[in-house]
Amino acid sequence: MKALARAKTTLKRKIGSTLILLALILLLGTLVSAAVSVLFAVERTHHNLRSQLPAIATIRLDESSILEQELLTGIMPEFSHVTAPLIKEIGNLTYVRMFDYTAWGYRFFSHDLRRTFDPNWFLLVEHTGTMQEQIDLGSLVETVGLDFDQFLLKGVQLPYIADIEAGLIELVSGRTFTENEIYNVYPVALVSQQFLNSNNLMLGDSMRFYYKIFEERPGLMIPEFHFSDDNLLARRGVDLDIIGVFDYQLPSGEGINFWNIESYINMVNRIYVPNAFIESMLSLYLEAFENLDSELFEMLSAVEDVSDMIYYENILFLLNCPSELDSFSTAASNILPDFWIPSYLSSAYAEISNSMLMINDLAIQVLVGTVIAAICLITLLLLIFIKDRQNELGIYLVLGEKKGTILKQLIYEVLFVSVIAIFFAIFIGNVMAEQISTSMIQRDLIQQADQEGSNLISNRMLEGMGFRFEMTHEQMLASYDVSMDVQAVLIFISVSVGVIILALVLPSIYILKMKPRSLISKGSIG
């Protein structure tokens, strides 16, 4: 109690020194509080943004890591393709409620059917551009002038269609596939309502396609010859029965652009079939290449599982809820081979993520710098105060006071001042962090909006599959939460206490080594 009473008396008597110590701890504590507020705000905001995303994910090659490795070694690194068993292993994770993957059918042609297209779709965009931009670039009839069109078939692996379950498309009539149709070779398909309307088809009708394999000739620049019978290696006619009809809608409002239009054109011309149907076409390759390329024929013939010959794409995982995106990413990363990573629709808020990354790095630098500065400055200030009071402390020692009691008095003095400073620093730092960081993020968002191509297409795998999720800058900023919760306060207090303890180390050592008589002879009592 004696040390506590003396500490109170000293703080009142040496009000100048007390205020200097209070101001220093308050200033440094405010910086620490602001840094901690920002760090927690970034983590909390990422959680808020992720919780708004659709609970869907995919996997993709990490092109930036591949490029980095190539620049580092001068050699393009080798990477394996994901196989069907590996996709199924990820799909069996507890976070996944359903999954699917696609074998694409690229070489299906028809003389009777035409791709769905309407130039008026481009009128939905304010600047329509040139007439060249208002044609269906995927149509052989429009771009090459042939009398037949090419169609893209999208294979699915399971009876349900994950695109329907994910809300990408809506089943408006008919049904999806049965297990028997999926696991055996059945010529059944789902098409869009727009495709039906364009070709005067109905649910239950049959569509005639020809699967054609043309010889790939390097440097061939004449598309008419490429698709001519003179260049044809093999072909097979197939009839697909329409068992279901889906609808896909353009986005409304300001979000519509040329990319949306192109995506819409591809989606309404998409034809869903079982993967097994597309895989059954591989036998035509054996016929085509048996005489043309004996080595390729032998390689293809040696493959036991037909799925090993296919590069599966549009790999889609539907999760239980958006909050499991991070857990799924961690678990999937442990399964995936090198250079493959999980991906979800985070590009919707990529702009604010870039801003928060900048703010986060700055906050870490401020926190580390402030902690180091606080330890040094508080230590130096306490040593100056002790030297200023060394005669007073020397008399205490001469009168028989223990050094431990004097040390307690110093600790009490620092704690009294620190508690007051830390209390106010929590609130001042939080307010300062909110104003400064929010202003910085707003400016950075505006700058990024002015820069074209800020988001790499390679990182937009799900968008390329047709999934859309857009956020305005106002929605992003509304998710930015700089409030101080209990955890943030506890972290701030822990850091502050740690700084105070470290700052007391040298002054404590100095007190414990004091010699009373030499202290008294150096001046008068303060």
Report phi then psi at 520, rounded to 5.
-65, -35
* Pick from 153, 48, 159, 95: nearest CA to 317: 95
Beta bridge partners, 98, equal 318
In the chain, where the domains are located: 2-53+352-520, 55-103+313-343, 107-280
Classify residue 483 as exposed, middle or buried by CB count within 10 Å of its CB (0-12, 13-18, 19+): exposed
* Pick from 222, 213, 208, 232: nearest CA to 145: 222
Helix axes 486-503, 403-449, angle to 10 degrees: 130
Query: Residue 366: CB partners within 8 Å, gap ≥ 6?
Result: 31, 34, 35
**Tens place of pLDDT per residue across the chain (526 aa):** 566 776 667 777 778 888 888 899 899 999 999 899 888 888 888 777 777 778 889 998 888 888 888 888 888 888 888 888 899 999 999 999 999 999 999 889 999 999 998 877 766 665 544 444 577 778 888 777 788 899 999 999 988 888 998 888 999 999 999 999 998 889 999 999 999 999 999 999 999 999 988 877 666 556 666 788 778 888 899 999 999 999 998 766 555 667 778 888 889 999 999 999 998 888 787 777 666 666 666 666 666 665 666 788 889 999 998 888 889 999 999 999 988 999 887 766 667 777 778 888 888 898 999 999 999 998 888 888 877 776 676 666 666 667 777 777 788 888 888 889 999 999 898 888 888 888 877 777 666 665 544 444 444 677 777 777 767 777 777 778 888 788 888 889 899 989 988 888 888 887 777 666 655 555 443 3
Query: Residue 194: CB partners within 8 Å, gap ≥ 6?
Result: 116, 247, 248, 268
Write down the residue that tokens 């060394």 correspond to: 390
Q: Give the type of residue at 141.
A: V
